[in-house]
Amino acid sequence: QIKSLDTHVASCSRHGKTCFKCGATALASNYVNHAHQCSGELPVRMYHGTSIEVAQLILSSQSFHASSSGLLGEGVYVTADISKAARYGPVVIECAVFKGKTITIAKRFHPQQKCWRRAGYDSAWVPPNAFISTNKAADALGVADDDYAALAGTRNTSGGELEETCIGDSRRVIPLKLVKGTGR
């Protein structure tokens, strides 16, 4: 089933995508090249983990739907670390990503953590080891996640050792192919 979806993506030219920069429609088979020429930006390889069912929808439509919430607010969540992507589902989609203007969110309660798009950024990046998860119990006590974990006698499971990026405009994330993951 996964291989047939890969074949569909590689051979399908009927899907058109609207460019995030100029608004023109380009065939899916040429979209990465068009977006690169139009924006002058080179895409980076990143990964998105999900279920098989959602992966089928993403690949058949050649587009992502932004999450309505998350650590960095609304957007499409991707990572350069395939092992982190695999935590979100049994299927990992390799993507070409045009990150645009990026803000680094490296601490909890960063003033732009969820409103970076209104400040003119195209994406927000959490670097490795930032540990800025949204732990409501730690927030209630006004302590960092690690301090809360020590107080509660639990281990910090925020996944802070791995980075992630939130892309505000889903047209900046282009699914390329599926990679079978090792997640749930």
Confidence of residue 94 (pLDDT cuts 50, 70, 90): very high
Q: 102 or 60: which carries more pLDDT confidence?
A: 102
List, for residues 145-170, the tens digit of each pLDDT value: 555 555 554 443 444 567 899 999 99
In this prediction, residues 94-103 reach a mean pLDDT of 97
What pTM was computed for the model?
0.78
Residue 145: which of 174, 109, 176, 181 has the closest Cα?
109
Residue 37: which of 52, 26, 48, 51 has the closest Cα?
26
* Rg of the Cα atoms in the chain: 17
List, for residues 19-77, the tens digit of each pLDDT value: 999 999 888 788 999 999 999 999 999 999 999 999 999 988 889 999 888 889 999 99
